[in-house]
Structure formats: C-alpha cells, structure tokens
Structure 1
Amino acid sequence: MRVTNRLMADTVLSSLYKNTQQLLKLQEMVSSEKRINRPSDDPIGMGKILDYRKMLSSIDQYNTNIIRGKTQIDLTESCLEAIDDLVLKARRIAVEQSAGELENRPTAAQEVKNIYDQILQLANTKLRDTYILSGHQTDTAPFSRDSDYNATYNGDDGDIRIIVGDNLDIKINVTGEDALRSGVDVFDSLRDLINGLEDPDTSAGTAQIATQVAPLSNALDQIKAVRSEAASTFIQLETTENQLAKFKLNVEDMLSDTEDADMAQAIVELQVQKTAYETSLATAAKILQRSLMDFLR
C-alpha cells in the first residue's frame, strides 16, 4: 500500500488532535480538582455522584428541620418553665391565704391577677410569626380572656411534625390544651382563686381558696409531664442530628472518592501529556513542512 502525503498528514493531524483532547481533559481535571466533570468522563461514576449529592441535599434539609424543631422546643420549654414558676407562686398564695390571713387578701388577689395575665402572655408566645401553643392555628393567639377572667382556648390539638429522615418524622409542638387544660384547667383554677380572695364572705372565700391548692398542685405535675415529653423530643432530635452528621461525613467521603482527582497523579500525567503534545506538534510541523516542499517541487 502506498503511503501518500495526504495519508501521512491525516494520520499526524489525528494523533495531534487526540493528544490535544487528552491535554485539555487533564488541564480541566487539574484546574477543577475533579476526576469527573461531565457524564461522558465516567457515566457510571456520574450516576453515583448525582446520588451522593441528592443524599447530601436531603441531609441538609433534615438538619434545617432539626434546627427549627430544636428552636421551637427550646422556646416552648422556656415558656413552660416560667409558667411552672408562676403556678407554683399562685399555689403558695393559696396555701397562705387558706390559713385565714384576711388583711392581705386584696393584695393577694391582685397578685394572682398579675400571675394570670403573665401566664396568658407566656401561653401566647410567638416564634417569628407563629404562635407556638396553638396547634395548627399558628396565626391565632391560643388564649384570650374576658373581664371576669374566663379563658378561651382558640387553638386546636394539631400536631406539628418535621421530617428528619427517610420515613421518619417527629412532633415538635406542645398545644395550650395539653399544657394548661388537659387535666387541670390552670386558668379556671386561678380564676376561682381570685374569686375566693375577693369574696366578701370570708368563710366561703377561705373554703374556695383551700379547694384550689390541690388543683394547682396537679397543674404543676401536668406542666412538668409536658416539659418532660418535650425534653425527650429535644434529646431525640439531638441524637438524630449527630447521626446525620456522621452519615454526611461518610457520604462526603464516598463522593470525594468518586469525583475528586488524585492531584499528584493528575499533575504527573499532565506533564507527560504536555511532553507528548509538544513532541506530536514538532513531528507534525516537520512532516507537514516536508510534504509542502515536496508539493512545491
């Protein structure tokens, strides 16, 4: 077979083109520090990369949900702790006044009214633009009262749940019904205590005051039970958060192993390819120049 000048030129140009493509690929690998920059580099590897990135995106969303849940539970705990202290204070007043300290009753009545309104204000706490104790009615203040200290619950018993894993969701809210009305109605007990303290019939008033000591004690137990449940949920969220952090590191390692280039090896290969490219370029220049001279002769 006769080797023509055209065939030699085509062969040289094809080799030069391949060397150029390989050089560009290695240059991109070194600059991006990625072994795979497009599906054509490694179709199977790119499939794994997309799966790992999807996992990492899901983990980030789970972590965002957990932070939101922990924030809400932390705020709820602070409110319930303050309410717990106020109910305890009201119970102490009831115990003291049931002993018949008549001269202090107007002051005690006003103090209990203040406690009532403080608890009402705490129960209506908002996290950003949402009421935390209203169930699903997050745009509605959970409690209101009339001039006679009759409280109304305006929320519902809806659970607010967050997704923290595949097929795993956790309740993060406490409703005002659960905390303040599920067994003992805290507001009713405080109202009855106020009425007893303001009753002009001191004997009847003393009896009514005494009957609120036990309900207020039960209210304390009721609030503590809700706080305990919220604390358990907080711990569960922290445990899940720690597990996700470990899982994320594993996924990031797998992504790196699949996607990232071995920089030392890539740099060596780039230098070798540069030499091959320069050699091909020099060879092509000689052959093409010779072919052109032959043509001119």
Structure 2
Amino acid sequence: MSIRVTQGMMHSQMLRNVNNNLTRMESNQNILSTGKKINKPSDDPVGITYALRYRSELSINEQYQKNVDAAVSQVEHTDKVIGQVGDLVQRANELVTKGLNGTNPQTALNAIAEELGQIYEQAVTLGNDQLNGKYIFNGQKTDIKPYTAAGAPGETTDNEKIISQFAAGVTIPLNVTGSEVFGQATDSDNLFSVLKGLQTAFSAGDQTTATSLYNQLSSRISKVLEVRSEVGARANRLDLIDNRIKDLDLNLNSLDATTEDADIADTITKLKSDESVYQASLSVSAKIIQPSLMDYLR
C-alpha cells in the first residue's frame, strides 16, 4: 500500500535535515574555536572521566612542584649558611693551633682571643639566620629567635623537623636544627661554649684549658661537616624528585592532550564539508518551499 506524501511532511523532513546539518556544523565550529573535542560530558562520557582524572593529577603534581621549589630554596640556603659556619670553625681552629705553639707572647694571645670573640659573635649571627622572615635553625618554632649573644652557650633550639611531601608517601625533613650544627647546651663540644672558653683561656694565657677545648673544637668541626653532608644529600634527592615531577607533568599533559585536544586540521576539513552540505541543503530546501497553491492551480 502506497503512502501519500504531503507538502507538510516534506517541509518537516526538510527542516529536520537542515537543522541536523546546522547542528553538526555548529559542533565542529565549537571544537575549532575551543581547540577541545570534549566541551561537555555528552561529547565523550568515557573520555571526560579520563580528562578529569588527568586534570586532578596535574593539579596535585603542580602543588608537589611548588613544594620542591620551596624545599630547594630552603635547603640551598641552609647549605650556604652551614658552609659559612664551617669557615668560621676552620678559622677558629687555625687561630687556636697558632696560639698553642708555645712561642706567642701574651699580646699575641690577646689578639687571638679578640678574634675568637668576633668569631663567636658571627656564629651567633649565623645561628639566628632567617629565610623569608623565618629562623632556619629553630626547628618548628621559626618565629622565635633561637640565640642571644649573651646566653648562646646555654641555649638549646627546638629540635622538631619541618616535613614536606613531594609525592604520595614521599616526605623529606627540610630543616637542620641549631643543636645539630652548634651543639646542645649540655654538649661538651657546644660551639658557643668552646669559643667563649677559648677566648677566656687565651686572654688568661691558660694553655692547658685551651688545649682541652681545642679537642672539643675538632669534634665540633667533624659534626658540622657531617651535617653539611646530610644537607647535600637532601639537595641531591630533591633534584631527583624535581626531575621525576617534571617528567610526570609532561606525561600527564600528553595524555590529557590526546584525550581532550582536537585535531585542528581534521576539524577544519570536517567543518568545510559540513558547510558545503549545509549550503546544499538550503539550496534544495528553497526549491521545495518555492511551489505554492497558485503554482498548482496554473
């Protein structure tokens, strides 16, 4: 049985086809203008779940990168300050060695004592060093000045570590405490106590006490070197972590681009094809709409 096709049916089908062509062309225009082939979840329900996951991981990775940058700055600064402490201790060692040779007059010993006093003052200054307004040698109490010029030999810093995270389950302590570098108040080789003691001993010409303190100074030199080696090892590990984070960032961006980014050349080709189809549908539609009742009555 044949089905009668009316003018209204032709018009309705024509409008649907024109709208479909227009929708397809608008979709490719949107892809071309945004550069993304996924602009709403319905474009690719599976792809959007991967895209959101990649975005989340990239955001987390970005925070880890910020943690690494801040950590590298702190560790490098700490290394420089400890290096300066090491230079001070080495200079003190040279002065004490010179003062203990037994041939120096008291005036020379007084000069050595004077310089040891200056070294003590500089050691206190380094012990109170700050980075971004925070004291680097006072553990987690970064807002409290750890040492005073008068009381440094009897003062002990906070020994808590500042921990930073660089990946899931990967944490590294960033700070070094003053007790590790300069010694605790109860340590026989506390740098401040030793320097003060040596200054007093040379001022009094007390070679026996100076010799005893010289051994303690040597002990402190070894500990300062050990701490600096530890800081250097942290810096090396941070470099490795930094490289890993950057590699992961490149990988995630590549995966995200594969999932979301449009193929511009392919999209332009499709858009041109859609425009041609749309123009053709409009041309055909114009011929269908053109006949009227008067045309049939003629």
1:105 aligns with 2:109: yes
TM alignment of 1:222-237, pairs within 5 A = 222-237=223-238
Does residue 152 (structure 1) correspond to residue 161 (structure 2)? The answer is: no
Task: State how 1:158-173 maps to structure 2 within 5 Å.
Answer: 158-173=160-175
Residues 293, 259 of structure 1: alpha-carbon distance in 2 compared, 3 angstrom cutoff: farther
Is the CA contact (8 Å cut-off) linking 1:144 and 1:151 kept in structure 2? no
- CA deviation after TM superposition for structure 1 residue 295, in Å: 9.2
Structure 1 residue 95 displacement after superposition: 1.8
Q: Which runs of 5 or more structure 2 residues have no equivalent in the other structure?
A: none
2:133 corresponds to 1:129: yes
**TM-score (norm. length: structure 2):** 0.92
Q: 1:37 aligns with which of 36, 39, 43?
A: 39
1:73 to 67, 72, 75: 75
Alpha-carbon distance in 2 for matches of 1:229, 1:278 = 73
Taking only aligned residues, the RMSD between alpha carbons, in angstroms, comes to 1.8
Do the aligned partners of residues 37 and 175 (structure 1) sit closer, same or farther apart at CA in structure 2, a change above 3 Å counting? same
Partner of 1:18: 20
Q: Quote the Cα distance in structure 2 between the aligned partners of 1:212 and 1:296.
A: 125
Instruction: Specify the code of the residue in structure 2 equivalent to 1:91.
Output: N
- Do structure 1's residue 192 and structure 2's residue 211 form an aligned pair? no
Q: After TM superposition, where is structure 1 displaced by more than 4 Å over at least 4 residues in a row?
A: 291-297
Match of 1:63 in 2: 65
Stretches of structure 1 lacking an aligned partner (at least 5 in a row): none
State the AA in 1 paired with 2:24: Q
2:247, 2:268 → 1: CA distance? 32
Measure, in 2, the Cα distance between the counterparts of 1:112 and 1:176: 20
Equivalent-residue separation in structure 2 for 1:288 and 1:170 (angstroms):
76
For residues 43 and 112 of structure 2, the distance between their equivalents in structure 1, rounded to whole angstroms, comes to 80
Distance 1:143 1:151 in 2: 9
Q: Pick closer, same or farther for the CA change 1:291–1:231 going to 2, 3 Å.
A: farther
- Offset from partner CA, 1:168-209 (integer Å, 9 cap, x none): 11111101111111563111111111111222xx3xx11111
SS in 1 for 2:290: helix
Q: TM-score, normalised by structure 1?
A: 0.93
TM alignment of 1:132-281, pairs within 5 A: 132-146=136-150, 150-153=153-156, 155-181=157-183, 184-199=189-204, 202=205, 205-281=206-282
Task: Answer whether contact 2:51 2:256 (CA < 8 A) is retained.
Answer: yes
Report the alpha carbon displacement of residue 219 of structure 1 after superposing the two structures with TM. 0.7
Q: Structure 1 residues 159 and 292, CA, compared in 2 at 3 Å: closer, same or farther?
A: farther
Pair 1:292–1:52, CA change in 2 (3 A): farther
Q: Assess, with a 3 A threshold, how the Cα gap between structure 1 residues 86 and 286 changes in structure 2: closer, same or farther.
A: same
Please give the alpha-carbon distance, in whole angstroms, between the structure 1 residues aligned to 2:164 and 2:295: 79
* TM-aligned CA deviation for residue 2 of structure 1: 2.2
CA distance in 1, matches of 2:58, 2:36: 18
Asked whether the 8 Å contact 1:125–1:132 carries over to 2, the reply is yes
Aligned CA distance change for structure 1 residues 108 and 291 (closer, same or farther; 3 Å)? farther
Conserved 8 A contact 2:121-2:149: no
Shift of 1:294: 5.9
Kindly state the Cα deviation for residue 145 of structure 1 after the two structures are TM-superposed: 3.1
Which amino acid in 1 is paired with 2:43?
A: D
Number of positions where the alignment pairs a residue of Structure 1 with one of Structure 2: 291
- SS across alignment from 1:106: helix
